Amino acid sequence: MEETTNSPNAKKFRQLFLLSSFSLSFYNNMFGLGGILMTSYLLFLGATAKDIGLLAAIPSLLNILMIFAIKFYERAKSRKKVIVTFTILQYLFFYLIMIIPKIATGRYQITLLIGCFLFGNLFRALKGSGVVEWTNFYVPSSIKGKYFSNRNLLGNLVYIIVSLSVGKILDSYSSDYKIYVILFLITLVFSVVQIIGYLKVDDYTADFEIKPKTKFKDMFTLPLKHKAYRYFMLFSLSWNFARSLAAPYYTFYSKTVLTLDYTYIALIGSITCLLKIFVANPFGTLGDQKGWRNVLLYAGVLFALTNIAWGFVNPSTANMYPAVIIANGIFMIGTNIAIFNLNMDLSSSKYRLLFLGFNGTLTAIFSFIGPNLASFLMGQLKDTTIIIFGWLVNGYQIVFWISGILQIIVIYLFIQYLIKAKLGEKQ
């Protein structure tokens, strides 16, 4: 591993991964379920809040397959071949959603959309954690926090570009099918750039060459035997379950309940991203120097509190929207960087791909339950309003509160373990 991170081409490969990540961000911002374009396209197709919950559950359901990704890598003896092949297949099915209005009408459009999401996310899941581990081979531990925070920075820059331009366009042309096709095709260019970036990076197969193929039993038992990672997995699945209850609904809620313009949503989101650019590096540097436990504690709890604050935003208090969005974004980036690096630090270097895949599988089960539970609650409560201490509350707000409170509990319990085990801090 040390030879890889210090190889003459390591810096070049890190730059190529950043380029691919930059390109991937365009795809994620366009096809992301909580994004402006997909929210608008789903409304264009006639999707309901219940449909949103079902679609949000699909990626989590198929992440269950992540643990089996290692078998594809071992059989092909190449990360590059597996990643590139599954990336192409993933994009093929996602870009098929462009033609849905041409081949179906009514609820059949939603059925086909679900099918495209299903198969697209199938290949995304089978790609597993290969890209993360592949990138990790070329990033020295001394700069991991800074490097991956820079990757987040690029993602935020893309969000600013995409959200402002797409929001403005959709405010004027959200009922025009041709606009959606044009926007999706623009994204296709960046998807091709991402694949080209992967093709230019050297493959890394040494670990497969020096150790025997993973036994089926070991795929489940090895991660569970590793105490520190076992606790991380418990945290990860609980955290993602708590987040998945509400995450798919924020943009949908902003448009349908708060009746905000796409341009306004994009403007506030872009301001948030500008601020995230300034805080990403300090979060990463702090983690590199002091460890990730305290970063997770403070950023994670404050992030959860901003999700609770969503429950106090309604049409009469919509002026709270900018403050909640900005605070949420700032603390989200610190939380994500901390969780990502704890995942790396607490896993076994020898079996990292297996550990990442197993964690992804367990997390997927609970992340699948979350949106489905939220979808059921939304179906039951979306037209219901109740009064709590004189406050008029709808079903969305109740789900937002439940999600945020659970996030605080999950972080508190995990931090207590890290303190007891003396993990997550630099010695």
**Tens-level pLDDT at each residue, the chain (427 residues):** 445 555 667 788 888 888 888 888 877 777 777 677 888 888 888 888 778 777 877 777 777 777 777 777 777 777 888 889 999 999 999 889 888 988 888 888 888 988 998 898 888 888 867 787 788 778 777 777 677 777 777 777 777 777 778 878 888 877 888 888 898 888 888 889 889 988 988 887 665 655 556 666 666 677 778 788 888 888 988 898 888 888 878 888 888 888 888 788 878 888 887 787 778 778 878 887 878 888 899 999 999 999 999 988 888 888 999 999 999 989 998 898 888 888 888 877 777 767 777 777 777 777 677 777 777 777 666 666 677 666 667 778 888 888 999 999 999 999 999 999 888 776 5
Number of domains the chain is built from: 1
255, two tokens: 């448009």
Please state the φ and ψ torsions of residue 211, each to the nearest 5 degrees. -130, 150
Q: What angle do CA 135, 232, 326 make, to 5 degrees?
A: 75
Determine if the pTM surpasses 0.75.
no
Q: How far apart are alpha carbons 163 and 406 in whole angstroms?
A: 30
Burial code (b: 16+ CB inside 10 Å, e: under 16) for 275-313 equals bbbebbbebbebbbeebbbbbbbbbbbbbbbbbbbbbeb
Q: In 242-254, which positions are buried (b, 16+ CB within 10 angstroms) versus exposed (e)?
A: bbbbbbbbbbbbb
14 C-beta neighbours (distance < 10 Å), count:
20
Q: How far apart are CA 162 and CA 168, in angstroms?
A: 10
Cα dihedral across residues 41, 186, 203, 155: positive or negative: negative
Q: Is residue 259 part of a domain?
A: yes
Other C-beta atoms lying within 10 Å of the C-beta of residue 5: 18
Helix, strand counts (H, E) of the chain: 20, 2
Domain presence at residue 427? no
Asked if the structure places residue 117 within a domain, the reply is: yes
- Annotate 319-354 with b (16+ C-beta within 10 A) or e (fewer): eebeebbbbbbbbbbbbbbbbbbbbbbbbeeebbbb
| DSSP structural state of residue 213 | P
- Lookup result for tokens 């003459």: 8
Distance between CA 259 and CA 383 in Å, rounded? 16
For residue 309, being part of any structural domain is answered with yes
Helix (H) or strand (E) holding 272: helix 262-290
C-alpha 252/C-alpha 240 separation (Å) is 20
CATH of the domain at 207: 1.20.1250.20
The Cα 425–Cα 418 span in angstroms is 9
**What interhelical angle do 10-31 and 36-45 show, nearest 10?**
30
In a domain, 358, yes or no: yes
Closest CA to 265 of 20, 52, 35: 35
For residue 407 the two structure tokens come to 């996030």
With respect to residue 426, please indicate whether it lies within any of the assigned structural domains: no
Read off φ and ψ for residue 212, nearest 5 degrees: -70, 165
Q: Tally the C-alpha atoms within 13 A of residue 83's C-alpha that lie toward its C-beta.
A: 24
Determine, yes or no, domain membership for 375.
yes
Q: Is residue 256 part of a domain?
A: yes
Domain containing residue 281: 2-421
User: Tokens 């020898």 label which residue?
Assistant: 350
Q: What is the pLDDT of residue 384?
A: 64
